[in-house]
Structure 1
Amino acid sequence: MSTAYEQSGRTRQKQRTRNDLIAAARELITQGGSAPTVEEAAAAASISRTTAYRYFRSQAELLAAAHPEVELTSLLPAGSGDDPETRLLAVVGAFIEMLLKFEPQQRTMLRLSLEPSSQPDQLPLRQGRGIGWFEDALAPARDRLSEAAVHRLAIAVRSAVGIEALVWLVDVAGLSRDDAADVMLSSARAIVRAALSEGDDA
Protein backbone atom coordinates (compact mmCIF):
# COMPACT_ATOMS: atom_id res chain seq x y z
CA MET A 1 0.00 0.00 0.00
CA SER A 2 2.94 2.31 -0.55
CA THR A 3 2.03 5.77 -1.80
CA ALA A 4 3.87 8.07 -4.19
CA TYR A 5 4.91 10.12 -1.17
CA GLU A 6 6.61 7.11 0.43
CA GLN A 7 8.38 6.16 -2.81
CA SER A 8 10.15 9.48 -3.27
CA GLY A 9 13.19 10.72 -1.33
CA ARG A 10 14.46 9.31 1.98
CA THR A 11 12.44 6.16 1.42
CA ARG A 12 14.00 4.22 4.32
CA GLN A 13 13.11 6.90 6.83
CA LYS A 14 9.60 7.12 5.41
CA GLN A 15 9.18 3.36 5.66
CA ARG A 16 10.26 3.52 9.30
CA THR A 17 7.71 6.26 9.95
CA ARG A 18 4.98 4.24 8.27
CA ASN A 19 5.93 1.15 10.27
CA ASP A 20 5.89 3.19 13.49
CA LEU A 21 2.35 4.35 12.74
CA ILE A 22 1.22 0.80 12.02
CA ALA A 23 2.88 -0.52 15.18
CA ALA A 24 1.21 2.22 17.24
CA ALA A 25 -2.18 1.40 15.75
CA ARG A 26 -1.73 -2.29 16.52
CA GLU A 27 -0.73 -1.54 20.10
CA LEU A 28 -3.76 0.72 20.60
CA ILE A 29 -6.03 -1.98 19.18
CA THR A 30 -4.53 -4.56 21.55
CA GLN A 31 -5.27 -2.27 24.48
CA GLY A 32 -8.97 -2.41 23.62
CA GLY A 33 -11.53 0.32 23.22
CA SER A 34 -12.56 1.91 19.95
CA ALA A 35 -10.55 1.62 16.76
CA PRO A 36 -7.70 4.15 16.80
CA THR A 37 -7.86 7.14 14.49
CA VAL A 38 -4.94 8.40 12.44
CA GLU A 39 -4.49 11.20 14.99
CA GLU A 40 -4.39 8.76 17.91
CA ALA A 41 -1.85 6.53 16.21
CA ALA A 42 0.26 9.58 15.36
CA ALA A 43 0.22 10.74 18.99
CA ALA A 44 1.16 7.28 20.24
CA ALA A 45 4.05 7.11 17.76
CA SER A 46 5.18 10.70 18.53
CA ILE A 47 4.58 11.68 14.91
CA SER A 48 2.84 14.86 13.87
CA ARG A 49 -0.77 14.67 12.69
CA THR A 50 0.15 16.31 9.37
CA THR A 51 2.90 13.78 8.73
CA ALA A 52 0.66 10.85 9.64
CA TYR A 53 -1.94 11.90 7.07
CA ARG A 54 0.71 11.79 4.36
CA TYR A 55 0.86 8.04 4.93
CA PHE A 56 -2.76 7.25 5.75
CA ARG A 57 -5.54 9.43 4.41
CA SER A 58 -8.19 7.81 6.59
CA GLN A 59 -8.74 5.59 9.60
CA ALA A 60 -9.80 2.78 7.26
CA GLU A 61 -6.47 2.90 5.41
CA LEU A 62 -4.53 2.82 8.68
CA LEU A 63 -6.51 -0.10 10.10
CA ALA A 64 -6.23 -2.04 6.85
CA ALA A 65 -2.44 -1.65 6.99
CA ALA A 66 -2.45 -2.70 10.65
CA HIS A 67 -4.41 -5.85 9.90
CA PRO A 68 -2.09 -8.86 10.40
CA GLU A 69 -3.21 -10.66 7.24
CA VAL A 70 -2.59 -7.84 4.81
CA GLU A 71 0.64 -9.12 3.23
CA LEU A 72 -0.04 -12.86 3.24
CA THR A 73 -0.77 -14.62 -0.06
CA SER A 74 -0.95 -18.21 1.22
CA LEU A 75 -1.21 -20.13 4.49
CA LEU A 76 -0.32 -23.49 3.00
CA PRO A 77 2.68 -25.09 4.77
CA ALA A 78 5.50 -26.49 2.67
CA GLY A 79 5.22 -30.18 1.88
CA SER A 80 1.44 -30.32 2.35
CA GLY A 81 1.00 -32.93 -0.36
CA ASP A 82 -1.89 -33.30 -2.78
CA ASP A 83 -4.75 -34.45 -0.56
CA PRO A 84 -7.38 -31.66 -0.60
CA GLU A 85 -8.70 -32.41 2.89
CA THR A 86 -5.24 -32.52 4.47
CA ARG A 87 -4.24 -29.29 2.75
CA LEU A 88 -7.48 -27.53 3.65
CA LEU A 89 -7.33 -28.50 7.31
CA ALA A 90 -3.68 -27.38 7.51
CA VAL A 91 -4.68 -23.96 6.18
CA VAL A 92 -7.74 -23.78 8.44
CA GLY A 93 -5.54 -24.62 11.42
CA ALA A 94 -3.11 -21.83 10.52
CA PHE A 95 -6.04 -19.47 9.91
CA ILE A 96 -7.49 -20.18 13.36
CA GLU A 97 -4.08 -19.83 15.02
CA MET A 98 -3.63 -16.41 13.44
CA LEU A 99 -7.18 -15.48 14.36
CA LEU A 100 -6.58 -16.20 18.04
CA LYS A 101 -3.17 -14.52 18.05
CA PHE A 102 -4.56 -11.30 16.59
CA GLU A 103 -8.08 -11.45 18.01
CA PRO A 104 -8.22 -7.79 19.13
CA GLN A 105 -7.26 -6.57 15.65
CA GLN A 106 -9.73 -8.99 14.08
CA ARG A 107 -12.56 -7.81 16.32
CA THR A 108 -11.75 -4.19 15.54
CA MET A 109 -11.83 -4.87 11.80
CA LEU A 110 -15.12 -6.73 12.19
CA ARG A 111 -16.68 -3.76 13.99
CA LEU A 112 -15.41 -1.39 11.32
CA SER A 113 -16.68 -3.59 8.49
CA LEU A 114 -20.19 -3.50 9.95
CA GLU A 115 -20.39 0.28 9.97
CA PRO A 116 -22.59 1.70 7.17
CA SER A 117 -19.92 4.25 6.29
CA SER A 118 -17.14 1.67 5.87
CA GLN A 119 -15.28 1.41 2.56
CA PRO A 120 -15.21 -2.28 1.50
CA ASP A 121 -12.27 -1.87 -0.88
CA GLN A 122 -10.07 -0.78 2.04
CA LEU A 123 -11.09 -3.46 4.56
CA PRO A 124 -9.23 -6.80 4.51
CA LEU A 125 -12.21 -8.54 6.13
CA ARG A 126 -14.31 -7.75 3.08
CA GLN A 127 -11.74 -8.74 0.48
CA GLY A 128 -12.13 -12.50 0.77
CA ARG A 129 -8.53 -13.34 1.68
CA GLY A 130 -9.64 -16.43 3.61
CA ILE A 131 -11.59 -17.68 0.61
CA GLY A 132 -8.51 -17.30 -1.57
CA TRP A 133 -6.34 -19.20 0.91
CA PHE A 134 -8.89 -22.02 1.10
CA GLU A 135 -9.18 -22.20 -2.70
CA ASP A 136 -5.39 -22.47 -2.86
CA ALA A 137 -5.50 -25.39 -0.42
CA LEU A 138 -8.27 -27.07 -2.41
CA ALA A 139 -6.48 -26.81 -5.76
CA PRO A 140 -5.99 -30.61 -6.09
CA ALA A 141 -9.78 -31.07 -5.80
CA ARG A 142 -10.26 -29.49 -9.21
CA ASP A 143 -9.85 -32.91 -10.79
CA ARG A 144 -13.22 -33.92 -9.29
CA LEU A 145 -14.95 -30.60 -8.61
CA SER A 146 -15.65 -27.75 -10.99
CA GLU A 147 -14.05 -24.36 -10.49
CA ALA A 148 -17.40 -23.02 -9.28
CA ALA A 149 -17.78 -25.91 -6.85
CA VAL A 150 -14.31 -25.31 -5.38
CA HIS A 151 -15.17 -21.65 -4.92
CA ARG A 152 -18.46 -22.51 -3.21
CA LEU A 153 -16.64 -24.97 -0.96
CA ALA A 154 -14.10 -22.31 0.04
CA ILE A 155 -16.95 -19.93 0.84
CA ALA A 156 -18.71 -22.61 2.91
CA VAL A 157 -15.55 -23.23 4.93
CA ARG A 158 -15.00 -19.51 5.43
CA SER A 159 -18.55 -19.13 6.72
CA ALA A 160 -17.74 -21.58 9.52
CA VAL A 161 -14.24 -20.30 10.30
CA GLY A 162 -13.25 -16.75 11.16
CA ILE A 163 -13.72 -13.87 13.55
CA GLU A 164 -17.49 -13.90 13.05
CA ALA A 165 -17.69 -17.55 14.14
CA LEU A 166 -15.25 -16.99 17.00
CA VAL A 167 -17.27 -14.06 18.35
CA TRP A 168 -20.46 -16.12 18.33
CA LEU A 169 -18.88 -19.25 19.83
CA VAL A 170 -17.09 -17.34 22.61
CA ASP A 171 -19.40 -14.41 23.35
CA VAL A 172 -22.78 -16.06 22.73
CA ALA A 173 -22.27 -19.82 23.14
CA GLY A 174 -19.86 -19.31 26.03
CA LEU A 175 -17.13 -21.67 24.78
CA SER A 176 -13.50 -21.28 25.69
CA ARG A 177 -11.26 -20.20 22.84
CA ASP A 178 -9.70 -23.67 22.68
CA ASP A 179 -13.14 -25.26 22.38
CA ALA A 180 -14.21 -22.68 19.82
CA ALA A 181 -11.12 -23.49 17.75
CA ASP A 182 -11.99 -27.21 17.91
CA VAL A 183 -15.55 -26.51 16.77
CA MET A 184 -14.39 -24.41 13.82
CA LEU A 185 -11.88 -27.05 12.74
CA SER A 186 -14.49 -29.83 13.06
CA SER A 187 -16.96 -27.80 11.02
CA ALA A 188 -14.40 -27.25 8.27
CA ARG A 189 -13.59 -30.97 8.24
CA ALA A 190 -17.26 -31.92 7.93
CA ILE A 191 -17.87 -29.41 5.14
CA VAL A 192 -14.91 -30.46 3.02
CA ARG A 193 -15.56 -34.18 3.47
CA ALA A 194 -19.19 -33.80 2.43
CA ALA A 195 -18.27 -31.76 -0.62
CA LEU A 196 -15.52 -34.14 -1.74
CA SER A 197 -17.80 -37.13 -1.21
CA GLU A 198 -20.47 -35.56 -3.39
CA GLY A 199 -17.82 -34.85 -6.01
CA ASP A 200 -16.76 -38.50 -6.04
CA ASP A 201 -20.39 -39.57 -6.49
CA ALA A 202 -21.05 -37.17 -9.36
Structure 2
Amino acid sequence: MSARHNEKYLETGRTRQKSRTREELVSVLRDLLKDGRDPSVAEVAAIAGISRTTAYRYFPDKEALLHAALPETGLGSLLGGDPPSDVRARLERTLDAHFDFIRAWEPQLRASLRLSLTPGAARPTLRGGRAVGWYRDALSPLETAGSGIDTAALAVRLRAVAGIEPYVWLRDVAGLRTGQAFDVMRANALDILDAALAGAK
Protein backbone atom coordinates (compact mmCIF):
# COMPACT_ATOMS: atom_id res chain seq x y z
CA MET A 1 0.00 0.00 0.00
CA SER A 2 1.46 3.34 -1.04
CA ALA A 3 1.52 6.38 1.20
CA ARG A 4 -1.06 7.98 -1.11
CA HIS A 5 -3.42 5.02 -0.76
CA ASN A 6 -2.97 5.26 3.00
CA GLU A 7 -4.02 8.92 2.93
CA LYS A 8 -7.12 8.09 0.87
CA TYR A 9 -8.09 5.39 3.36
CA LEU A 10 -7.89 7.84 6.25
CA GLU A 11 -9.92 10.47 4.38
CA THR A 12 -12.93 8.26 3.65
CA GLY A 13 -15.59 6.68 5.83
CA ARG A 14 -15.46 6.94 9.62
CA THR A 15 -12.63 9.47 9.73
CA ARG A 16 -12.79 10.17 13.49
CA GLN A 17 -12.58 6.51 14.38
CA LYS A 18 -9.78 6.02 11.88
CA SER A 19 -7.91 8.97 13.36
CA ARG A 20 -8.25 7.47 16.86
CA THR A 21 -7.00 4.09 15.63
CA ARG A 22 -4.03 5.69 13.92
CA GLU A 23 -3.13 7.70 17.02
CA GLU A 24 -3.38 4.60 19.20
CA LEU A 25 -0.87 2.77 17.00
CA VAL A 26 1.46 5.78 17.07
CA SER A 27 1.14 6.12 20.86
CA VAL A 28 1.91 2.45 21.46
CA LEU A 29 5.01 2.62 19.25
CA ARG A 30 6.30 5.68 21.14
CA ASP A 31 5.84 3.89 24.46
CA LEU A 32 7.59 0.75 23.19
CA LEU A 33 10.52 2.75 21.83
CA LYS A 34 10.84 4.48 25.19
CA ASP A 35 11.02 1.04 26.84
CA GLY A 36 13.85 -0.03 24.54
CA ARG A 37 11.72 -2.11 22.19
CA ASP A 38 11.93 -2.04 18.38
CA PRO A 39 8.63 -3.67 17.39
CA SER A 40 7.11 -4.54 14.04
CA VAL A 41 3.77 -3.14 12.88
CA ALA A 42 2.16 -6.47 13.80
CA GLU A 43 3.58 -6.32 17.34
CA VAL A 44 2.37 -2.74 17.81
CA ALA A 45 -1.08 -3.75 16.56
CA ALA A 46 -1.28 -6.69 18.97
CA ILE A 47 -0.42 -4.52 21.98
CA ALA A 48 -2.87 -1.83 20.85
CA GLY A 49 -5.62 -4.45 20.49
CA ILE A 50 -5.98 -3.70 16.79
CA SER A 51 -6.00 -6.35 14.08
CA ARG A 52 -2.87 -6.77 12.01
CA THR A 53 -4.86 -6.26 8.81
CA THR A 54 -6.26 -2.96 10.08
CA ALA A 55 -2.83 -1.75 11.22
CA TYR A 56 -1.33 -2.37 7.80
CA ARG A 57 -4.08 -0.26 6.24
CA TYR A 58 -2.64 2.68 8.17
CA PHE A 59 1.06 1.81 8.04
CA PRO A 60 2.34 -0.51 5.29
CA ASP A 61 5.69 -1.03 7.06
CA LYS A 62 7.64 -0.17 10.20
CA GLU A 63 9.30 2.85 8.60
CA ALA A 64 5.92 4.42 7.84
CA LEU A 65 4.82 3.89 11.45
CA LEU A 66 8.10 5.31 12.75
CA HIS A 67 7.76 8.41 10.58
CA ALA A 68 4.28 8.98 12.00
CA ALA A 69 5.47 8.53 15.59
CA LEU A 70 8.65 10.59 15.21
CA PRO A 71 8.06 12.81 12.15
CA GLU A 72 11.66 14.03 11.90
CA THR A 73 12.83 10.52 10.98
CA GLY A 74 11.06 10.86 7.64
CA LEU A 75 12.77 14.12 6.69
CA GLY A 76 15.72 14.37 4.33
CA SER A 77 16.45 17.90 5.54
CA LEU A 78 16.03 19.86 8.77
CA LEU A 79 16.40 23.26 7.11
CA GLY A 80 12.69 23.96 6.74
CA GLY A 81 11.34 26.54 4.35
CA ASP A 82 13.49 29.22 2.74
CA PRO A 83 16.86 27.75 3.80
CA PRO A 84 19.85 30.12 3.89
CA SER A 85 22.54 29.83 1.23
CA ASP A 86 25.43 30.39 3.65
CA VAL A 87 26.76 27.01 4.70
CA ARG A 88 27.52 28.05 8.27
CA ALA A 89 23.99 29.40 8.72
CA ARG A 90 22.64 26.18 7.22
CA LEU A 91 24.65 24.12 9.70
CA GLU A 92 23.47 26.24 12.63
CA ARG A 93 19.84 25.76 11.59
CA THR A 94 20.34 22.03 11.20
CA LEU A 95 22.00 21.79 14.60
CA ASP A 96 19.11 23.68 16.20
CA ALA A 97 16.56 21.31 14.66
CA HIS A 98 18.60 18.21 15.52
CA PHE A 99 18.92 19.33 19.13
CA ASP A 100 15.16 19.98 19.28
CA PHE A 101 14.67 16.41 18.06
CA ILE A 102 16.94 15.08 20.81
CA ARG A 103 15.08 17.14 23.44
CA ALA A 104 11.69 15.90 22.26
CA TRP A 105 12.58 12.22 21.91
CA GLU A 106 15.44 11.73 24.37
CA PRO A 107 13.96 8.64 26.12
CA GLN A 108 13.32 6.89 22.80
CA LEU A 109 16.76 7.80 21.45
CA ARG A 110 18.49 6.63 24.63
CA ALA A 111 16.59 3.34 24.55
CA SER A 112 17.47 2.82 20.90
CA LEU A 113 21.12 3.55 21.65
CA ARG A 114 21.11 0.95 24.44
CA LEU A 115 19.50 -1.58 22.14
CA SER A 116 22.08 -0.97 19.41
CA LEU A 117 24.87 -1.73 21.91
CA THR A 118 23.42 -5.13 22.80
CA PRO A 119 25.63 -7.89 21.33
CA GLY A 120 23.92 -9.70 18.48
CA ALA A 121 20.98 -7.31 18.30
CA ALA A 122 19.85 -6.06 14.92
CA ARG A 123 20.23 -2.35 14.26
CA PRO A 124 17.16 -0.59 15.68
CA THR A 125 14.97 1.36 13.30
CA LEU A 126 15.89 4.64 14.99
CA ARG A 127 19.57 3.97 14.30
CA GLY A 128 19.22 4.51 10.57
CA GLY A 129 21.98 7.05 9.95
CA ARG A 130 19.51 9.78 9.01
CA ALA A 131 21.43 12.56 10.75
CA VAL A 132 24.41 12.14 8.43
CA GLY A 133 22.04 12.96 5.58
CA TRP A 134 20.77 16.02 7.45
CA TYR A 135 24.32 17.34 7.83
CA ARG A 136 25.24 16.57 4.25
CA ASP A 137 22.16 18.50 3.16
CA ALA A 138 23.37 21.46 5.25
CA LEU A 139 26.72 21.28 3.48
CA SER A 140 25.30 20.93 -0.04
CA PRO A 141 26.34 24.43 -1.25
CA LEU A 142 29.96 23.29 -0.91
CA GLU A 143 29.35 20.59 -3.53
CA THR A 144 28.57 23.14 -6.22
CA ALA A 145 31.05 25.79 -5.11
CA GLY A 146 34.15 23.89 -6.19
CA SER A 147 35.48 23.90 -2.64
CA GLY A 148 37.19 20.52 -2.97
CA ILE A 149 35.73 19.53 0.41
CA ASP A 150 34.51 15.95 0.75
CA THR A 151 31.05 16.76 2.11
CA ALA A 152 30.20 13.12 2.79
CA ALA A 153 33.24 12.73 5.05
CA LEU A 154 32.63 16.13 6.64
CA ALA A 155 29.01 15.20 7.40
CA VAL A 156 30.21 12.08 9.21
CA ARG A 157 32.64 14.18 11.29
CA LEU A 158 29.82 16.56 12.21
CA ARG A 159 27.52 13.70 13.17
CA ALA A 160 30.28 12.27 15.38
CA VAL A 161 30.16 15.37 17.60
CA ALA A 162 26.43 16.16 17.38
CA GLY A 163 23.95 13.43 18.21
CA ILE A 164 22.58 11.24 20.96
CA GLU A 165 25.93 9.51 21.65
CA PRO A 166 27.98 12.63 22.50
CA TYR A 167 24.92 14.09 24.23
CA VAL A 168 24.63 11.08 26.56
CA TRP A 169 28.36 11.25 27.38
CA LEU A 170 28.24 15.00 28.06
CA ARG A 171 25.18 14.63 30.29
CA ASP A 172 25.88 11.37 32.11
CA VAL A 173 29.67 11.28 32.29
CA ALA A 174 30.78 14.92 32.07
CA GLY A 175 27.82 15.99 34.19
CA LEU A 176 26.75 18.92 32.03
CA ARG A 177 23.25 20.30 32.05
CA THR A 178 21.14 19.85 28.91
CA GLY A 179 21.81 23.34 27.54
CA GLN A 180 25.51 23.06 28.27
CA ALA A 181 25.70 19.74 26.42
CA PHE A 182 24.07 21.26 23.35
CA ASP A 183 26.41 24.29 23.54
CA VAL A 184 29.45 21.99 23.52
CA MET A 185 28.15 19.98 20.57
CA ARG A 186 27.34 23.17 18.64
CA ALA A 187 30.80 24.64 19.28
CA ASN A 188 32.53 21.42 18.24
CA ALA A 189 30.49 21.12 15.04
CA LEU A 190 31.10 24.75 14.04
CA ASP A 191 34.81 24.40 14.79
CA ILE A 192 34.98 21.38 12.48
CA LEU A 193 33.21 23.30 9.71
CA ASP A 194 35.38 26.40 10.15
CA ALA A 195 38.56 24.29 10.00
CA ALA A 196 37.36 22.58 6.82
CA LEU A 197 36.53 25.91 5.19
CA ALA A 198 39.88 27.40 6.21
CA GLY A 199 41.70 24.37 4.81
CA ALA A 200 39.85 24.67 1.53
CA LYS A 201 40.96 28.27 1.15
TM-score (norm 1): 0.75
Give 1:168 shift. 0.9
What is the match of residue 164 of structure 1?
165
Distance in 2 (alpha carbons) for counterparts of 1:98 and 1:137: 16
Q: What is the one-letter code of the residue matched to 1:87?
A: R
Equivalent residue in structure 2 for 1:108, among 99, 108, 111 = 111
Give 1:36 shift. 6.5
Q: What is the one-letter code of the residue matched to 1:93?
A: D
Contact 1:87 1:137 (C-alpha < 8 Å) held by counterparts: yes
Give 1:56 shift. 7.6
Distance verdict in 2 for CA 1:22–1:153, change over 3 Å: same
Distance in 1 (alpha carbons) for counterparts of 2:72 and 2:38: 18
What is the match of residue 127 of structure 2?
125
Contact 2:36 2:108 (C-alpha < 8 Å) held by counterparts: no
Q: Write out aligned runs for 1:35-184 (5 A).
A: 35=37, 37=39, 41-42=44-45, 45-48=48-51, 66-115=69-118, 116-119=120-123, 123-126=125-128, 128-142=129-143, 143-146=145-148, 149-184=150-185
- Structure 2 unaligned segments of length 5 or more: list them: none
What is the match of residue 193 of structure 1?
194
Q: Write out aligned runs for 1:5-44 (5 A).
A: 7=5, 11-12=9-10, 16=19, 17-29=21-33, 32-35=34-37, 37=39, 41-42=44-45
Distance verdict in 2 for CA 1:90–1:34, change over 3 Å: closer
**Pairwise CA RMSD:** 3.4
Give 1:27 shift. 3.6
- Structure 1 unaligned segments of length 5 or more: list them: none
Distance verdict in 2 for CA 1:36–1:189, change over 3 Å: closer
Contact 1:89 1:188 (C-alpha < 8 Å) held by counterparts: no
What percentage of aligned pairs have identical amino acids?
39
Distance verdict in 2 for CA 1:53–1:109, change over 3 Å: farther
Distance in 2 (alpha carbons) for counterparts of 1:108 and 1:85: 32
Distance verdict in 2 for CA 1:163–1:96, change over 3 Å: same
Contact 2:94 2:138 (C-alpha < 8 Å) held by counterparts: yes
Q: What is the one-letter code of the residue matched to 2:26?
A: I
Give 1:35 shift. 2.1
TM-score (norm 2): 0.75
Contact 1:64 1:124 (C-alpha < 8 Å) held by counterparts: no
Contact 1:63 1:109 (C-alpha < 8 Å) held by counterparts: no
Q: What is the one-letter code of the residue matched to 1:138?
A: L
Distance in 2 (alpha carbons) for counterparts of 1:40 and 1:182: 39
Distance in 2 (alpha carbons) for counterparts of 1:15 and 1:152: 44
Distance in 2 (alpha carbons) for counterparts of 1:20 and 1:145: 49
Query: Alignment partner of 2:154: what SS?
Result: helix
Number of residue equivalences: 191
Give 1:102 shift. 1.1
Query: Alignment partner of 1:125: what SS?
Result: coil
Which piece of structure 1 moves more, 56-65 or 102-111? 56-65
